[in-house]
Structure formats: C-alpha cells, structure tokens
Amino acid sequence: MIDLGLLRQVALTAFDVNTIKVLMKTGGEALWNASIVKPETKAMIQLMIDKKLIEMVERPLEPTKIRLTDIGRSAAAQIEASMQAAQRTAPVAG
C-alpha cells in the first residue's frame, strides 16, 4: 500500500526521487565526492540531508558516502510501490 502521507510530508522533488532510485540500485549508499559536483547538486543533496532522507557518512581513511536513512528507505519503498502500481495499471499496447 502506498503511504502518500509520507511522500507529501517530505515533499519529494524530482531530484530526490532520482537520487533515491540510484541509491536503491546501489544497496542504499553511494560514494560522494563533493569536489566534483556542481554547487546546485551540493545544495540539493544538502536539502535531502535536511529532510533526513539521506545522511553523509564520513570515516577516517575511507571515501565519503551518502546513504539512505530510515525515512529515505521508507520513501524508497513508497516510490517502488507506486512504480509497481503504475506498471500494473498501464494499458497494454497491442
């Protein structure tokens, strides 16, 4: 079942959804190198951190990563459920 309340509560943007989808494909986390991304991307990632969708993981002697939080994983599950529902209701061409 899709919890639209959660999705509305965190006010997901297209960037949020696309980033969450990428993180879903990579096991919930990905390497993050702030020195090679545009300032706009850094700002959007910071907004996702502010919404508690992702967190920055910084450990000594390891590359920095971004990772889905519990809220991010819940949003990911809702996105996946809505994509599956859309596939079930999509008309079949033929």
pLDDT tens digit string along 47-73? Answer: 999 999 999 999 999 999 999 999 999
Question: What is the number of residues in the chain?
Answer: 94
Residue 19 pLDDT level (bands cut at 50, 70, 90): very high
Cα dihedral sign for 5, 20, 25, 73?
negative
Report the percent of the chain where pLDDT is more than 70. 86
| pLDDT for the residue 10 | 73
Residue written as token pair 């702030």 = 34
State the CB neighbour count (10 A cutoff) for residue 75.
27
CA 2 to chain centre: 16
pLDDT at position 79 is 85
Domains of the chain and any CATH numbers = 4-84 (1.10.10.10)
The pLDDT of residue 82:
81
Per-residue confidence band for 9, with pLDDT thresholds at 50, 70 and 90:
confident
Pairwise CA distance, residues 25 & 33, whole Å: 19
For β-strands 65-68 and 54-57, DSSP reports them as antiparallel
